[in-house]
């Protein structure tokens, strides 16, 4: 039985780090971020007036879905671990970020509404909140990833699912949101345990900071991180774990560490995406966002895009987020079509649309991309 | 004391439902080594087919299908049970034949995702207007409301009457009969031996002349029939039938799966034990601690047990072979 080793897959290995990390290396390292932020700023200033609020919202949704799907792709696509709790991480990050911006705004400025303009003080509070939300989610990812050391694939799936469901139930039992600064100052410890995030109705009243610019920044961060991870030795180790755990172990890959790393990274970005989601205008984050239905949606994006293909997953996230908006009349049939797509995809093209390749590696096929190295899933 | 006894009775009922569903999960896992996510949707299908059959049969014998004035004769319940078991068995056969068999040698992740696909498909087809519809329905009462046993116990604030109705007895008896029948089938018949052989090693079983494909199909039919029975009994016990894609069904299936895992997945007796353990934790936790967190107890127990005994209560250790 011949099997492609993960090392034979994808693009050439990164250049040696032996060279000093000079100005040129910094430029190489930073240009994707600069380009991404510039593009995000450009879109932020031009797109809203061009397409109107309805389509703008779809674009923002697509961006958030991309962050979530690409980060899930690290666990499910690259490391081959089956996580159905991704929405749980998202909700955890979203609620954490929401608490920081909401109660932070109330305490600092007396009101929970938006504060400051583009790149103003409020915006930075929001970014810090998103990052903290990501860190909290990452801590939860570590906790959820730990059992993966002892559990094999499908058991792990159930644990991640259990995590999301437990979180959903716990969020339903939370206290009511405190309305103003007086209430916050008068609160006692018992008002904060469980946290005042609105219970079953959701966390309403958050300042709506999410806009195209910040979504663009976070998408850039996620995608560059994922792409570089895929090129790095850690990413190779993840791919090796996905292909064959025993062989990977024999090659010196620390399976346990690799899996937990994948979980933590994915949860980190899911948490940040949760921050974006919670502050998106016109949305109220609620406990049902932690449930498994939402996790399934991101899993479907990952699978359809190609497990391991970042651009493929982004494309799938864009299509699957935007399509339902245009198929409102066929709402009843939307999930049936999804389900059929999923089954047929698994039967006919189990590695997803793009397999492990990026879009530009497949079509048009360059001389460098050898079709024979396509990672055929066993 | 009265509260305790009442909770115990509920535990036995809910536990036997969980056990019936868990048996389907555990049999499929034992043979094909993957979680059949669509199993809970077969339970839903069983419940809704029961409802549909009831709404056909009751008018035919001159009763109001929504709220029969007098309970229909006992054979109606039997016919509906058998009918829904047969229908779900057929559906189970086709699910295996069309969706899972082509993936027999595919990586497990792919099979799992296919299972999720089948699950979504069943849910959403069930929600269509011309199938079961997107709104909840009320299952007509097929059994009289007699008390089989009733007694009083002293408890909080005086004496409480405890009664066990026909529904409760039938529920428990039917699932007990089905479980004992399955136990006999798996451990005492040639077919059961074949099933265990396939579960142990499909390749070796095939070399010994066991028709693996047929055994796998049979397992699916059997598991789906048990799921249908569980769906029927669930609808009898809790007549408010939720629409097919409602979260409550998925949670029912998940808890049953948790039962299978806790008992040691792949182990038929373990599934029954796990079903009752889960029901015990859920019901007693809900009654004595807080009913808001009843799902949390179940999943917390699952995580705990998996960390302490990764193979479940009755499971045997699994070794990865190179």
* Secondary structure class of B164 (helix, strand, coil): strand
Are B35 and B108 in contact, with CB atoms under 8 Å apart? no
Residue B157: pLDDT band (50, 70, 90) is: low
Evaluate whether residue A299 is within a structural domain. no
Contact yes or no for B322 and A246 at CB 8 A = yes
Total residues found in chain A within this entry: 378
pTM across the whole model:
0.83
Are A286 and A91 in contact, with CB atoms under 8 Å apart? no
Percent of all residues in chain B with a pLDDT value above 70, rounded to a whole number? 96
**Tokens coding A109:** 């400025």
Which chain A residue lies closest to B29 (C-alpha atoms)? A154
Domain ranges of chain B: 21-134+142-243
When pLDDT is averaged across residues B197-219 and rounded to a whole number, the result is: 92
Evaluate whether residue A241 is within a structural domain. yes
| Domain total in chain A | 1
Return the pLDDT at A307. Answer: 78
Q: What are B159's strand-pairing partners?
A: B154
Q: Which of A215, A212, A218, A220 is nearest to A46 (CA)?
A: A212
Total residues found in chain B within this entry: 322
Q: Which contiguous run of DSSP H or E holds residue B207?
A: helix B202-207
A169, A340, A377 ranked by CB distance to B296: nearest? A169
Rg (CA), chain B: 20
Are A136 and A97 in contact, with CB atoms under 8 Å apart? no
On the question of pLDDT at A4 being above 50, the answer is: no
The runs of H, that is alpha helices, within chain A are: 23-72, 86-109, 121-145, 153-172, 181-186, 189-192, 212-231, 233-243, 245-250, 255-278, 292-305, 310-326, 331-348, 359-362
Return the pLDDT at A376. Answer: 42
How many angstroms away from the CA of B81 is the closest CA of chain A? Answer: 28
**Tokens coding A184:** 């916050």
From CA B15, how far away is CA B31, in angstroms rounded? Answer: 24
Q: In Å, how far are A27, A100, A167, B64, B311 from B300, measured between CA atoms?
A: 49, 28, 11, 45, 16
- Phi and psi at A110, nearest 5°, equal 80, -15
Q: What are B160's strand-pairing partners?
A: B153
- Phi and psi at B240, nearest 5°, equal -75, 95
On the question of pLDDT at B108 being above 80, the answer is: no
How many angstroms away from the CA of B61 is the closest CA of chain A? Answer: 35
**Tokens coding A189:** 């410890």
Q: Which residues contact B88 (CB under 8 A, 6 or more apart)?
A: B42, B45, B46, B49, B224, B225, B227, B228, B231
Helices and strands, counts by H and E, chain B: 11, 4
Q: Which residues contact A310 (CB under 8 A, 6 or more apart)?
A: A70, A73, A223, A226, A227, A230, A358
Highest mean pLDDT among A195-199, A279-283, B188-192: B188-192
User: How many CB pairs below 8 Å do chains A and B form together?
Assistant: 126
Which of A338-352, B30-44, B197-211 is the least confident region?
A: A338-352
Q: Which residues contact A159 (CB under 8 A, 6 or more apart)?
A: A85, A144, A147, A148, A151, B302, B303, B306
Contact yes or no for B113 and A347 at CB 8 A = no
Evaluate whether residue A149 is within a structural domain. yes
Are B241 and B51 in contact, with CB atoms under 8 Å apart? yes
Q: C-alpha angle B185/B189/B192, rounded to 5°?
A: 60
From CA A357, how far away is CA A363, in angstroms rounded? Answer: 10
Residue A315: pLDDT band (50, 70, 90) is: very high
Domain that holds residue A198: 27-292
Q: Which residues contact A259 (CB under 8 A, 6 or more apart)?
A: A79, A81, A145, A148, A149, A241
Evaluate whether residue A22 is within a structural domain. no
Q: Which residues of A touch B128 (CB under 8 A)?
A: 332, 336
Residue with tokens 């089948």, as numbered in its chain: B118
| pLDDT tens digit sequence for B248-307 | 888 888 899 889 988 888 888 899 999 999 999 999 999 888 888 888 899 888 888 877
Which chain B residue lies closest to A334 (C-alpha atoms)? B124
Residue A377: pLDDT band (50, 70, 90) is: very low
Q: Which residues of B touch A296 (CB under 8 A)?
A: 116, 120
Q: Which contiguous run of DSSP H or E holds residue B241?
A: strand B240-241
- Phi and psi at A211, nearest 5°, equal -140, 180
Contact yes or no for A291 and B129 at CB 8 A = no
Q: Which of B102, B117, B274, B310 to mutate to test the interface with A (most CBs of A within 10 A)?
A: B117
Are B77 and B144 in contact, with CB atoms under 8 Å apart? no
From CA A118, how far away is CA A216, in angstroms rounded? Answer: 14
Return the pLDDT at B159. Answer: 74
Evaluate whether residue A271 is within a structural domain. yes
Which chain B residue lies closest to A351 (C-alpha atoms)? B110
Handedness of CA B106, B108, B110, B113 (dihedral sign): positive
Q: What is chain B's mean pLDDT, rounded?
A: 87
From CA A368, how far away is CA A350, in angstroms rounded? Answer: 24
On the question of pLDDT at A32 being above 50, the answer is: yes
Residue A375: pLDDT band (50, 70, 90) is: very low
Are A195 and A44 in contact, with CB atoms under 8 Å apart? no
Q: Which residues of B touch A157 (CB under 8 A)?
A: 35, 112
Q: Which residues contact A276 (CB under 8 A, 6 or more apart)?
A: A63, A64, A67, A130, A210, A214, A215, A218
Say if strands B240-241 and B147-155 run parallel, antiparallel, or are unpaired: unpaired
On the question of pLDDT at B70 being above 60, the answer is: yes
Percent of all residues in chain A with a pLDDT value above 70, rounded to a whole number? 88
Contact yes or no for B123 and A350 at CB 8 A = no
CATH code for position A92: 1.10.3470
């Amino acid at each position: 039985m011949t099997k492609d080793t993960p090392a034979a897959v994808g693009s050439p290995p990164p250049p040696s780090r032996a060279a000093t990390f000079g100005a040129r290396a910094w430029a190489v390292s930073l240009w994707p971020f600069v380009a991404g932020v510039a593009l995000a700023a450009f879109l932020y200033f031009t797109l809203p007036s061009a397409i109107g609020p309805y389509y703008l919202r779809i674009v923002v949704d697509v961006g958030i879905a991309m962050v979530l799907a690409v980060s899930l792709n690290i666990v499910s696509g690259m490391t081959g671990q089956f996580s159905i709790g991704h929405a749980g991480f998202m909700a955890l990050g979203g609620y954490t970020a929401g608490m920081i911006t909401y109660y932070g705004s109330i305490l600092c400025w007396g009101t929970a509404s938006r504060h400051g303009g583009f790149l103003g003080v409020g915006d930075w509070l929001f970014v810090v909140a998103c990052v903290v939300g990501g860190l909290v989610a990452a801590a939860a990812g570590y906790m959820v990833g730990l059992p993966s050391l002892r559990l094999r694939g499908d058991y792990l799936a159930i644990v991640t699912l259990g995590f999301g469901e437990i979180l959903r139930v716990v969020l339903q039992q939370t206290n009511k949101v405190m309305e103003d600064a007086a209430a916050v100052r008068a609160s006692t410890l018992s008002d904060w345990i469980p946290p005042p995030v609105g219970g079953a109705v959701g966390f309403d009243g958050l300042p709506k900071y999410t806009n195209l610019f910040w979504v663009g920044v976070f998408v850039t961060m996620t995608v560059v991180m994922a792409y570089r991870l895929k090129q790095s030795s850690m990413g190779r180790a993840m791919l090796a774990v996905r292909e064959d755990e025993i062989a990977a172990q024999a090659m010196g890959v620390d399976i346990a560490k690799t899996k937990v790393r994948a979980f933590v990274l994915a949860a980190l970005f899911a948490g940040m995406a949760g921050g974006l989601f919670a502050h998106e205008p016109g949305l109220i984050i609620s406990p049902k966002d932690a449930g498994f239905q939402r996790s399934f949606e991101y899993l479907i994006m990952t699978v359809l895009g190609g497990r391991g293909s970042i651009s493929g997953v982004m494309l799938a996230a864009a299509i699957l987020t935007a399509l339902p908006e245009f198929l409102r009349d066929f709402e009843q049939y939307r999930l049936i079509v999804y389900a059929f797509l999923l089954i047929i995809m698994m039967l006919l093209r189990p590695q997803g649309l793009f397999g492990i390749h990026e879009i530009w590696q497949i079509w048009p096929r360059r001389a460098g991309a050898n079709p024979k190295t396509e990672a055929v899933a066993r | 004391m009265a509260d305790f006894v009442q909770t115990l009775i509920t535990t036995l009922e809910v536990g036997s439902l969980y056990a019936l569903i868990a048996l389907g999960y555990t049999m499929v896992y034992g043979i094909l080594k993957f979680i059949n996510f669509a199993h809970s949707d077969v339970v839903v299908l069983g419940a809704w087919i029961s409802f549909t059959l009831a709404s056909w049969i009751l008018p035919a014998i001159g009763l109001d299908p929504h709220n029969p004035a007098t309970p229909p004769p006992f054979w109606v319940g039997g016919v509906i049970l058998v009918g829904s078991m047969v229908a779900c068995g057929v559906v189970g056969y086709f699910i295996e034949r069309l969706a899972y068999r082509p993936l027999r040698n595919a990586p497990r992740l792919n099979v799992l995702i296919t299972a999720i696909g089948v699950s979504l498909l069943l849910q959403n087809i069930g929600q269509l207007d011309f199938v079961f519809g997107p709104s909840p329905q009320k299952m007509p009462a097929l059994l009289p409301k007699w008390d089989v046993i009733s007694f009083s116990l002293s408890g909080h604030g005086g004496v409480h009457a405890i009664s066990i109705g026909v529904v409760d007895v039938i529920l428990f008896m039917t699932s007990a009969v089905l479980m004992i029948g399955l136990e006999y089938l798996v451990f005492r018949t040639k077919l059961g031996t074949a099933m265990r052989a396939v579960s142990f090693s499909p390749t070796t079983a095939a070399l010994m002349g066991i028709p693996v494909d047929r055994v796998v199909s049979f397992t699916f039919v059997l598991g789906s029939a048990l799921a249908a029975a569980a769906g029927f009994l669930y609808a009898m016990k809790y007549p408010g039938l939720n629409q097919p894609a409602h979260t409550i069904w998925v949670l029912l299936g998940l808890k049953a799966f948790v039962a299978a895992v806790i008992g040691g997945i792949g182990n038929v007796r373990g599934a029954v034990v796990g079903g009752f353990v889960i029901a015990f934790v859920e019901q007693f936790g809900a009654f004595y601690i807080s009913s808001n967190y009843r799902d949390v107890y179940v999943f917390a127990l699952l995580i705990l047990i998996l960390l302490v005994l990764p193979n479940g209560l009755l499971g045997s250790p699994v070794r990865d072979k190179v």
